[in-house]
Amino acid sequence: MVKMTDSRYALPIMASLAVLLLCAIPASAEFTAANAELPDFFNFDENYYTVYGGPDVTATLVGDNKFERGDSVTLNIDLMNKGLITGFRSEEDSTFLSTLEQKLQNTEMSYESQRTTAIGIVAVLTSLDPDVDVKSGPQEAGTLVSGQQTESPVQFNIEISNNAVSGNYPMRLDLYYGYQKNVQINGDNETNLGITNMEVGLWYDVGGQNTTFNILVEDEARFEVTNVTGDLYPDSESMVYVTYKNVGDLPAKDATVRISAADPFSTTDDQAFLGTLGSGESTVAIFKLKVDELAVPKAYALNSEVKYEDIKGHDQTSDTVKIKTDVLSTSAKSDGSNTMVIIGAGVVIVLAAAGYFVYRSRVSKKDGDE
């Protein structure tokens, strides 16, 4: 009995294999599943052969294994059974076998050759890294005799996190299947028409294999907004200064950023040239934004995209980069103006007082001289 990778899948897989195994056995045969009680006549002391070998199901990822952050993709996996009979041992000395026993022995060997068939294959894909999420459950791949390949690939849907760093991500594929573990033959008599009252005992078990393969998240340029400055007020137009940083692994050449000005913003200047940004480098983009007079003072987020040329000379467009900014209340703006007016008035009063003091001093001095 194999150990299941995930206990959630154990019962469904076992139930599926049990049904498929029951459908696979000959009508004249008696059947026991893995770890089930053997039938009374299934006595291994009378077994003619002990056979070694079994299914060997290999998996091959079809197509490219290179993807980008944030991708949702379908992996296609081909399965092939390369099972072999690696040897057998006769449990009876054929010199002393009767004609009936010899025919039973030959019949058993013809059944034993089916030991390499993988019955009702069930495939389970598991990501070994949390940045890759497998969205598909167990997939059925049918039955494969030795030398046979699946007619169509087994498919699994996966999602790659936007925060995944570049590099290899291991994926584990577990394969479960039923296989014929042993055979025993009984019969009453041998005639020209064959063996009369022949009984075939087939003992099936559940086998399992696993393989690990990698998917690659490619290096690329990536952008984040690290700073935003500029005061925005309802019914006004202002300059906004946005700092973009290349947080990716590769440089971006001739980068240009475009913003999407949604309500309550509008602009006639929605693009800015960033130039060439190496990994870790930053630059400032300047946008002129007009705010609607009915805008509610609060925090807003604008969308932007960066278009650039990658190291292979191909044009690329980044994921959406958010610009977070605030619309301030008009009162905050007017409070600042009033303060300046008050300060200005104070300065005038002080200057006027100083002028009066100087004037009085001069008058007093003149009076004294007289």
pLDDT in tens, 125-140: 999 999 999 999 999 9
Q: How confident is the model at residue 44 (pLDDT cuts 50, 70, 90)?
A: very low
Q: Are residues 54 and 160 in the same domain?
A: yes
The reply to whether 86 falls in a domain is: yes
Task: Give Rg (Cα) of the chain.
Answer: 40
Q: What is the pLDDT of residue 111?
A: 76
The reply to whether 248 falls in a domain is: yes
Q: What is the pLDDT of residue 148?
A: 96
The total number of structural domains that make up the chain: 2
Q: What is the pLDDT of residue 4?
A: 38
Q: What is the pLDDT of residue 107?
A: 72
Q: How confident is the model at residue 94 (pLDDT cuts 50, 70, 90)?
A: low
pLDDT digit string, tens, across residues 266-291? 998 899 999 999 999 999 999 999 99
Burial bucket for residue 252 (CB in 10 Å: 0-12, 13-18, 19+): buried
Q: What is the DSSP string of 308-351?
A: EE-TTS-EEEPPPEEEEEEBPPHHHHHHHHHHHHHHHHHHHHHH
pTM: 0.65
Lowest mean pLDDT among 85-89, 165-169, 254-258: 85-89
**Which domain-ending residue is among 217, 243, 264?**
217
Q: What is the pLDDT of residue 72?
A: 95
Q: Are residues 109 and 247 in the same domain?
A: no
Please tell me the distance from the alpha carbon of residue 334 to that of residue 149, in angstroms, as a whole number.
Answer: 77
Q: Please, which residues have CB within 8 angstroms of residue 241's CB and are 6 or more apart in sequence?
A: 227, 228, 229, 230, 284, 285, 286
Q: Are residues 73 and 194 in the same domain?
A: yes
Q: Are residues 142 and 255 in the same domain?
A: no
The reply to whether 360 falls in a domain is: no
**For residue 81, pLDDT beyond 60:** yes
Please tell me the distance from the alpha carbon of residue 39 to that of residue 147, in angstroms, as a whole number.
Answer: 32
Q: What is the CATH number of the domain that holds 60?
A: 2.60.40.10
**For residue 40, pLDDT beyond 80:** no
263: how many CB neighbours lie within 10 A of its CB? 9
pLDDT digit string, tens, across residues 12-39? 555 565 555 555 445 445 544 444 455 5
Q: Are residues 184 and 283 in the same domain?
A: no
**Which domain-ending residue is among 185, 217, 249?**
217
Q: Are residues 142 and 235 in the same domain?
A: no
Q: Are residues 97 and 134 in the same domain?
A: yes
Q: What is the pLDDT of residue 33?
A: 46
Q: Are residues 126 and 273 in the same domain?
A: no
Name the token pair of 184. 């025993």
Q: Are residues 164 and 44 in the same domain?
A: yes
The number of angstroms, rounded, from the C-alpha of 266 to the middle of its chain's C-alpha atoms is 38
The reply to whether 332 falls in a domain is: no
**Which domain-ending residue is among 188, 217, 246?**
217
The reply to whether 295 falls in a domain is: yes
Residue 285 phi, psi (nearest 5): -105, 140
Q: What is the pLDDT of residue 202?
A: 77
**For residue 144, pLDDT beyond 90:** yes
Q: What is the pLDDT of residue 221?
A: 93
Please tell me the distance from the alpha carbon of residue 246 to that of residue 118, in angstroms, as a whole number.
Answer: 51
Please tell me the distance from the alpha carbon of residue 358 to that of residue 370, in angstroms, as a whole number.
Answer: 19
Q: Are residues 18 and 96 in the same domain?
A: yes
Q: Are residues 166 and 253 in the same domain?
A: no
Lowest mean pLDDT among 62-66, 196-200, 201-205, 264-268: 196-200
Q: Summarize the confidence of residues 67-92 as an average pLDDT.
A: 87
Q: What is the pLDDT of residue 279?
A: 94
Average pLDDT, the chain: 80
Residue 140 pairs in a beta bridge with 122
pLDDT digit string, tens, across residues 221-232? 999 999 999 999
The reply to whether 336 falls in a domain is: no
Q: What is the pLDDT of residue 120?
A: 94
Please tell me the distance from the alpha carbon of residue 181 to that of residue 207, in angstroms, as a whole number.
Answer: 10
- Domain range for 301 is 223-327
Please tell me the distance from the alpha carbon of residue 40 to that of residue 199, in angstroms, as a whole number.
Answer: 12
Q: How confident is the model at residue 337 (pLDDT cuts 50, 70, 90)?
A: very low
Q: What is the pLDDT of residue 152?
A: 95
Q: What is the pLDDT of residue 37?
A: 53
Q: Please, which residues have CB within 8 angstroms of residue 194's CB and are 6 or more apart in sequence?
A: none
Q: Summarize the confidence of residues 308-328 as an average pLDDT.
A: 93
The reply to whether 112 falls in a domain is: yes
Residue predicted with more confidence, 96 or 339: 96
Q: What is the pLDDT of residue 334?
A: 59
Q: How confident is the model at residue 150 (pLDDT cuts 50, 70, 90)?
A: very high
pLDDT digit string, tens, across residues 290-302? 999 999 999 999 9
The reply to whether 354 falls in a domain is: no
CA torsion 307→310→313→314, rounded to 10°? -60
Please tell me the distance from the alpha carbon of residue 40 to that of residue 178, in angstroms, as a whole number.
Answer: 22
Q: Are residues 254 and 320 in the same domain?
A: yes
**For residue 355, pLDDT beyond 50:** no
Lowest mean pLDDT among 52-56, 178-182, 348-352: 348-352
